[in-house]
Amino acid sequence: MVSTTIVAVLAVYLIILLAIGVWGGRESHSVAGYYVANKKLPAWVIAFSSNATGESAWLLLGLTGMGYAVGIHALWIVLGEVLGVALGWVLVALPFKELTDRYDSITVADYLESRFDDRQHVLRILSAIVILTMVTAYTAAQLTASGKAFSSFLGTSYAAGVLVGAAVILYYTTVGGFKAVAYSDVLQGVLMFSGLLMLPIVGVSAAGGFSQLIEQLHSVDPNLLEPMGELGFSVAGVLSAVSFMGIGLAFLGAPQLLTRFISASGRTQIVNGSLLAVICIIVFDVGAVFAGMAGRSLFPGLDDPETILPTMASELLPPVITGLFLVVVLAAIMSTVDSLLILASSAVVRDVVQKTLRSNLSDNRLSLYGKLTTVVIGAGALVLALGEVRVVFWFVLFAWSGLACAFTPIVLCSLFWKRTTRAGAIVGMVSGFLTTVIWVLVFKVGFYDLYEMLPGFLVGFVTTIGVSLLTEPPAAAAEELEAMRAAVGHPFKGFP
């Protein structure tokens, strides 16, 4: 029987999101307003929004499930993500913000086109193709998680959970634009932070304390306490740890995260948000892994490890708190899906319609088209999600790596190497993206399941650098980078 308390908590949360959508809609009638909130967001909003967007249902269901399945071996993921977030804010955020403001960029493709003087719009078109492909897959995985969450918490059908989650997300994202997305991410980030601070404490306590938990895990499977897991200090074990750490590389340049830096009201907001962002990611990831480990001790033998968080919430907590944990899972899902939909919509409307096709449509009409595009892309992902129940952890990581390997190598080169050329950026984007896809389809099984992010990054960097050395950089590139460095100083200037 479905608890009326849980349903009531869920209803209140969904009403709040709908209200945020209506409120955010006041600034969604222009391209800049709809896609980057007119570049007015404060530090605390971009800090919570970037982490909530980067983590998604992968954190609440996938990473807790990985903690359940492999124990402390999953802490390599924590290390990689903490380093990735810290380096992203310290090394990338300020230079990227400075240059995007100089270029008056709204999207990452805006920045790339200006930086490389790409008058044929090749980088815009490639960006749109990569984003639309990966965002559809990424969003489908998140809606899959929505179906799992509703089924685990409320006993509804998988399809009903997917449909309810999609309906709410599409409403407030379409109506409210990026401002609604960012501020709803704050609410969702706070819920995720609170839930992942609470659940491992409750789980460890229920297991009889930390020492008792360790003993129980050892009796279940001693490999749960091994740094390299069941593979040990073998080639496969080391590559598994390296793969887990590689997940954090995307925080250096995934476009849905870079958009947060574009939308900040100024460089000061980025400096002020950096420490908060790092603290959040530590609590998020450590909490998820230890919650999963506690769950393995308390509820061994689950058919689907990715249901451990709903199981623990339902069995260990009163109904009102269980309802809040359903909200926390949905928060993780929604905080990512809304950002992905806005990203994909901007790729179509800003990068293709307005800039590539040189449409003379008004800002208001382009904003309307952006909202319609958001609905269409969301509907496509919905169809995929209804068709198959997936393992959220690995499916999300595939889409995460596809976006990151297409953009991060060329963004980093563009910020720190004046010799980077347009041709190098084009080849780097294509090769990084294709390497990710081909690695999964052809090579991954034969190479100890090495995570596709690593070869994708390597190929992206090598081809960007190699082709750039053979071609000429934009005439003004050196002066632009020198002016940027003069404005922002050394990478650690001003950071706590």
| CA distance to 163, 292, 441, per residue, from 307 (Å) | 19, 10, 27
DSSP E strand boundaries for 91-234: none
The CATH number linked to 113 is 1.20.1730.10
3-state secondary structure 44-75: HHHHHHHHHHHHHHHHHHHHHHHHHHHHHHHH
Q: List Cβ neighbours of 140 (8 Å cut-off, separation of 6 or more).
A: 381, 382, 384, 385, 390, 395
Is 32 part of a structural domain of the chain? yes
Is 105 part of a structural domain of the chain? yes
Is 93 part of a structural domain of the chain? yes
Looking at the predicted structure, is the pLDDT value of residue 353 above 70?
Answer: yes
pLDDT in tens, 262-273: 999 988 999 899
Rounded to the nearest 10 degrees, the angle between the axes of helix 158-206 and helix 4-24 is 110
Judged on CB neighbours under 10 Å (0-12, 13-18, 19+), 485 is middle
Which of the pair, 489 or 84, is modelled with greater confidence?
84
Judge contact between 85 and 281, C-beta under 8 A: yes
Is 89 part of a structural domain of the chain? yes
The pLDDT score that the predictor gives to residue 490 is 66
The pLDDT score that the predictor gives to residue 253 is 92
Cβ atoms within 10 Å, residue 470 = 9
Which pLDDT band holds residue 393 (cuts at 50, 70, 90)? Answer: low
pLDDT in tens, 90-111: 999 999 999 999 999 999 999 9
The pLDDT score that the predictor gives to residue 240 is 93
Residue with tokens 């998988």: 158
Is 241 part of a structural domain of the chain? yes
Judge contact between 492 and 94, C-beta under 8 A: no
Q: Which of 21-25, 143-147, 284-288, 388-392 has the highest mean pLDDT?
A: 284-288
Is 486 part of a structural domain of the chain? no
The pLDDT score that the predictor gives to residue 491 is 61
Round to whole Å and give the CA distance between 312 and 167: 27
Is 463 part of a structural domain of the chain? no
Which pLDDT band holds residue 22 (cuts at 50, 70, 90)? Answer: confident
Round to whole Å and give the CA distance between 88 and 182: 19
Number of domains observed in the structure of the chain: 1
φ, ψ dihedrals at 8, nearest 5°: -65, -45
Q: List Cβ neighbours of 388 (8 Å cut-off, separation of 6 or more).
A: 144
Q: What is the CA radius of gyration of the chain?
A: 22
Is 455 part of a structural domain of the chain? no
Round to whole Å and give the CA distance between 377 and 443: 30
Cβ atoms within 10 Å, residue 423 = 17
**Rounded (5°) CA angle 395-396-399:** 95
| pTM, two decimal places | 0.89
Structure-block tokens of residue 405: 């390997």
Structure-block tokens of residue 259: 């958009």
Round to whole Å and give the CA distance between 174 and 472: 42
pLDDT in tens, 185-204: 888 788 889 889 999 999 99
Judged on CB neighbours under 10 Å (0-12, 13-18, 19+), 355 is middle
Domain residue limits at 267: 4-393
